[in-house]
Amino acid sequence: MARKKKNTEETKVKVPQIDAYIQGAGQVVDEKITITLEKNYMPYAMSVNVSRSFPEIDGFKPSHRKLLYTMYKMGLLQGAKMKSANVVGRTMQLNPHGDAAIYETMVRLARGNETLLHPYVESKGNFGKAYSRDMAYAASRYTEVKLEPICNELFKDIDKNTVDFVPNYDNTMQEPTLFPATFPSVLVNANVGIGVAMASSVCSFNLAEICETTIALMRNPEHNALETLKGPDFAGGSYFIYDEEELDKVYQTGRGSLKFRAKYSYDKSANCIDITQIPPTATIEVIIEKIVALVKAGKIKDIQYIRDETDINGLHISIDLKRGADPEKLMQKLFKMTPLQDTYACNFNILVNGYPKVMGVYEIIREWVKFRMNCVKRRVDFDLRKKEDKLHLLLGLEKILLDIDKAVKIVRETENESDVVPNLMVGFGIDQIQAEYVAEIKLRHLNREYILNRTKEIQSLIAEIADMKDILGSDRRIKGIIIDELKEVSNKYGQARKTEFIYAVEEEEAEEIDDVPDYQCKLFVSESGYFKKITPQSLRMSGAQKVKEGDEIKQEIEATNKTELLFFTDKATVYKSRASSFEDSKASALGDYIPAKLSFDDGESFVTMVPTTDYKGYLLFVYENGKVAKVPMSAYETKTNRKKLTNAYSEKSKLISILYVEENANVLIKSSNGRMIIFNSALMLPKASRDTIGVATMTLKAKSVVEKAYIVDDETAKKFSKYIVKNIPAAGPFAKDIEDPDQMTF
């Protein structure tokens, strides 16, 4: 009964404490919704944003950092691969989440998934693919992983107090708050996060370009990042549609929309389009589903069959075309109507000192440099303390060198072991740490050679300590260390770009071109730039061509209504159009004024027109300085209906004439001092770049310049055989046998 009464008394004591915790439970209290949200929802929102969703300045979210640090502590930076399940299990010591969430994090970091430009996890087995929605990764018990070599740069000197460590969730071990990454990893690998009321989307950039840009900005804060950081670079490749204005906006503000386009090729023999790279925001399944829907809706009629041929060799979508389909025109429609061309919305929201902040590339690099400078300072300070401690011990050892026998005598004559250290301190005037070090020296080391060898380090240690103190007091030297590390990382891990460029001017939206009738016509272009397209029937019934006073017809060309036309201007620009874009005219009309019709820039004048149907042959650009450039017509061919091409030819010397040749032809060039040469264009090699300066063909003397150039047929060349040269450049003889060279026409 006594025991029972005691229990009852204990129960009566505990009840009031429980009531204190549940006091007010079930009561309805009037409270403003804003206060309720602030007390209950805001802590949760901040926890999600700060501890889960957004990357920090080292480039990692907490889930990434916990996984990689676990693998580092498991020794997976070296050695063999380990089953993913084992790594996931160990990571649970740091990450209070289930194995599925941890394994998904690992998958995204793995090389096999092809998400990251520079993967951090070397993988073996099926890790799925970032570009496929349905290609699922294998279970963790089937796959194996280890850390990629680039992780050496993440953990470098992490044990030298370079970053802060905090207890894990159950306070059983320590984990780093950040990684002391030696390069701006936050910009090297893509990172997307969705928080509460805010999100983050950071695109990836080429490692070598990021390192170069960081070095340039450290040396010159006014450096223009566009000069060294060309644009985003994704693991999946594709084309980046270059828009300098939008890219600069992203670099300045951290926000903007960048366009990406799939990479494809056309197999003429199989009459199919092969797509091998897609935008980073698209997946194979979504693309195929969208194309199938368009075909079913009757919006696209040129596709016969589409299939996914993706295999171990990589992404591959094949589109079989119907007979007569135009692959270029079809792709322009697909780019416009499917995710084969898509936009990446940049939102560089990154945690800095625990607070989310949207920053441009410039500010991110500045924040990273601050962070890295602090890491280097802490590392140098750590090494400095170690060397100072070592120097302190060696200075004590140096005093023992003065009388080794005395030290032995003190130890031997000391009765109690606990008195050895105090007696050495008194006998040699050293402190307790030095005395402890001396007392622990082995008997075999109590010889002069050993002690002399150890004390030789004193001078080098003194010099190293002085150098380290100088580093700690000099931001310039710390930046120099960071720059050297960036160069080393770039040389060791840099790789060629995977994402190529299509310049924005080339990517003007393609016009919808209806099937136009094809018929014979004759094109007339006047000296001042008036254009007329006249049918043979109209031409037979008309008289002389009407032109403005002082103007004259410069070109008469047999063509068809589907002939493509290249209009060259005096500003090294070519405007592209088609004969079908011009209305049929008559001889009695002036025609269309080309600068107005094609919207030439102010001050831009028409030079000549070149027609083509297949972009075969060559253009010869003859310059005043005697040079001639041989450029393939294919250099002016574009996949889209591009209206304008800049840098159509070189502007380093005045252009005299533009000549078209199908294969090779005889070219006559006349200089202002009356000399003349005829050479075959086969003597010149074609140049791929449109604005090439060409090769010297005529040697000019006495301040003369080239003033005329023509294509001459074999009969004419034979007539003037004395002017034919077999090698270029050549000066050529004077044209004395021609009565009036200035009036020559061919």
Q: Enter the tokens of residue 20.
A: 């204190």
> Regarding beta strands 239-242 and 500-503, do their DSSP bridges make them parallel or antiparallel, or are they unpaired?
parallel
Total number of residues shown for the chain: 746
Q: Which of 41, 142, 169, 305 is catalytic?
A: 142
Q: Please report the beta strands in 382-508, taking only residues with DSSP state E, as ranges in sequence order.
A: 500-503
Helical H segments across 429-474, by residue range? 432-439, 448-455, 457-472
Q: Which residues contact 286 (CB under 8 A, 6 or more apart)?
A: 133, 339
Q: How far apart (Å, rounded) are the C-alpha atoms in residues 59 and 348?
A: 11
Query: Dihedral angle at the C-alpha atoms of 640, 644, 648, 651, nearest 10 degrees?
Result: -160
Inter-residue contact 668 to 723 (CB < 8 Å): yes
Q: Is 716 exposed, middle or buried (0-12, 13-18, 19+ CB in 10 A)?
A: middle
Question: How much is the CA Rg of the chain, to the nearest whole Å?
Answer: 39
Tokens of 657: 């004439």
Q: Establish whether the linkage from the previous residue to 729 is cis, with ω within 30° of 0.
A: yes
d(CA 333, CA 27): 64
* Cβ(403)–Cβ(181) below 8 Å: no
Cα distances (Å, whole numbers) of residue 552 to 11, 530, 544: 117, 10, 11
Go through 122-131 and write b for each residue having 16 or more CB atoms within 10 A of its CB, e for each that does not: bbbbbbbbbb
Q: Could you please report the per-residue DSSP string of 32-91?
A: -HHHHIIIIIHHHHHHHIIIIIS-BTTS--HHHHHHHHHHHHTTTTSS--EEHHHHHHHH
Q: Let me know: does 528 contact 516? Beta carbons within 8 Å.
A: no
CA separation, residue 374 to residues 101, 379, 482, 537 (Å)? 33, 9, 11, 83
User: 548 near 528, Cβ under 8 Å?
Assistant: yes
267 alpha-carbon distance from chain centroid: 29
Q: Verify whether residue 142 is a known catalytic residue.
A: yes
- Residue among 227, 202, 204, 203 nearest 215 (CA): 227
Residues 6+ apart with CB under 8 A from 523: 531, 532, 533, 555, 556, 557, 559, 563, 565, 579, 609, 611
From residue 680, alpha-carbon distances to 154, 408, 655, 667, 708 in Å are 62, 100, 20, 6, 16
Measured distance between the N- and C-terminal CA atoms of the chain, rounded to whole angstroms: 134
Classify residue 160 by its DSSP letter: T
Could you tell me which residues are beta bridge partners of residue 576? 566
> Active-site positions?
142
